[in-house]
Amino acid sequence: MTPAGRGAWRTGLVLVCALGSPPVLGDTDSTHDHRIQLEVQPDTHRVRGVDRFRWSGSGPLAFRLHPDLEVESVTVNGSPHEGSRTSGESARWQSSRALEPGRHAVEVRYSGTLPGEARPGGGGQGPGFGPRVTPEGVYLGGGFWYPRTGQDLHTYRLTVTAPRELRLTAPGHRTDETTEGDTRTVRFRMGQPAEGAVLVGGPHRFRRDTTEDGIAVATSLPPDLEELADPFLAATAGHLQRFQERYGPYPHTGFTVVSSPWPAGFGFPGIAYLGRRILPMGFIREQSLPHEILHSWWGNGVYVDPASGNWAEGLTTYGADYRLRARDSKEAARELRLRWLQDYASYHRGEPAPALRDFQARVDQASRTRGYNKAAFLWIMLRDRLGDAPFDAALRRFLRQHKYQRASWADLQRAFEQAGEQDLDAFFRAWLDRPGAPRPRIAGLRSEGGELELTLAQEEPPYPLRLPVHIHRADGTVRKETVSLTRAEQSFRWTVPGPAVTRVAVDPDYRVFRSLSASEVPPRLSAVMASEGGGLRLPAQSRGKEWEAALSALARALWPEDSRVEDGEKGGASIRVVPPGELPAAWEAVDGRRPLPDFPAEATTMVLVGREDPQASPTLLIAADSPGDLKALARALSHYGSYGWLAFRNGRNVAKGRWPVPDKPLTRTLDGAKDSSGDPG
Alpha carbon distance 634, 542 (integer Å) = 18
Residue 28 pLDDT level (bands cut at 50, 70, 90): very low
Q: What residues have CB less than 8 Å from 19, skipping those under 6 apart?
A: 37, 39, 48, 49, 50, 109
Please report the pLDDT score of residue 571 as a whole number. 41
7-201 in CATH: which number? 2.60.40.1730
Residue 29 belongs to what H/E stretch? none
Alpha carbon distance 530, 386 (integer Å) = 35
Q: What are the pLDDT digits (tens) for 367-419? A: 999 999 999 999 999 999 999 999 999 999 999 999 999 999 999 999 999 99
The DSSP output letter for 287 is T
Q: Which of 401-405, 433-437, 545-549 has the lowest mean pLDDT?
A: 545-549
CATH topology for the 525-657 domain: Chitobiase; domain 2 (3.30.379)
User: HEC profile for 133-187?
Assistant: ECCCCEEECCCCCCCECCCCCEEEEEEEEEECCCEEECCCEEEEEEEECCEEEEE
Maximum C-alpha span of the chain: 93
Q: What are the pLDDT digits (tens) for 559-597? A: 765 544 454 444 434 788 899 999 999 999 999 889 999
Q: What are the pLDDT digits (tens) for 132-184? A: 877 877 789 877 899 998 878 999 999 999 999 889 899 999 999 999 999 99
Task: List phi, psi (to 5°) of 573.
Answer: -85, 140
User: 261-265: long-range contacts at Cβ-Cβ below 8 A with a sequence spacing of 24 or more?
Assistant: 261/8, 261/10, 261/136, 261/137, 261/202, 262/8, 262/118, 262/129, 262/137, 262/139, 264/8, 264/129, 265/1, 265/291, 265/292
* Homologous superfamily (CATH) for 441-519+665-677: Aminopeptidase N, middle-beta domain (2.60.40.1840)
Q: What are the pLDDT digits (tens) for 244-284? A: 999 999 999 999 999 999 888 889 999 999 999 999 988 89
Nearest to 87 by CA among 111, 58, 122: 122
| CATH 1.10.390.10 for the 303-433 domain, yes or no | yes
Residue 20 pLDDT level (bands cut at 50, 70, 90): very low
- Residue 673 reports pLDDT greater than 50: no
User: Do 7-201 and 441-519+665-677 show the same overall fold?
Assistant: yes
Q: Considering the chain, what is the average pLDDT of its residues?
A: 87
**Of all residues in the chain, what percent carry a pLDDT higher than 90?**
67
Q: Which of 192-201, 288-297, 345-354 has the lowest mean pLDDT?
A: 345-354
**279, 229 in Cβ contact below 8 A?**
no
**470, 669 in Cβ contact below 8 A?**
no
- Residue 424 reports pLDDT greater than 70: yes
- Bridge partners (DSSP) of residue 48 are 39, 111
Q: What residues have CB less than 8 Å from 359, skipping those under 6 apart?
A: 309, 310, 313, 367, 370, 371, 375
Alpha carbon distance 544, 186 (integer Å) = 55
Task: List phi, psi (to 5°) of 31.
Answer: -75, -15
Q: What residues have CB less than 8 Å from 79, skipping those under 6 apart?
A: none
Q: Mean pLDDT over residues 16-21, rounded?
A: 34
What is the DSSP secondary-structure string of 50-84?
A: EEEEEEESSEEEEEE--TTEEEEEEEETTEE--EE
* R_g of the chain computed on alpha carbons: 28
Residue 7 belongs to what H/E stretch? none
Q: Please indicate, yes or no, whether the overall pTM of this predicted structure exceeds 0.85.
A: yes
Please report the pLDDT score of residue 630 as a whole number. 86
- Residue 535 reports pLDDT greater than 70: no
- Locate the domains of the chain by residue range: 7-201, 303-433, 441-519+665-677, 525-657
Please report the pLDDT score of residue 226 as a whole number. 96
Alpha carbon distance 505, 472 (integer Å) = 8
**62, 104 in Cβ contact below 8 A?**
no
**381, 466 in Cβ contact below 8 A?**
yes
Residue 543 pLDDT level (bands cut at 50, 70, 90): low
Alpha carbon distance 393, 415 (integer Å) = 9
Taking the mean position of all CA atoms in its chain, how far away is CA 123?
20
Helices 388-402 and 409-420: crossing angle, nearest 10°?
A: 130
Please report the pLDDT score of residue 529 as a whole number. 81
Sheet-wide strand order for 619-623: 535-537, 573-578, 619-623, 605-610, 645-649, 652-657
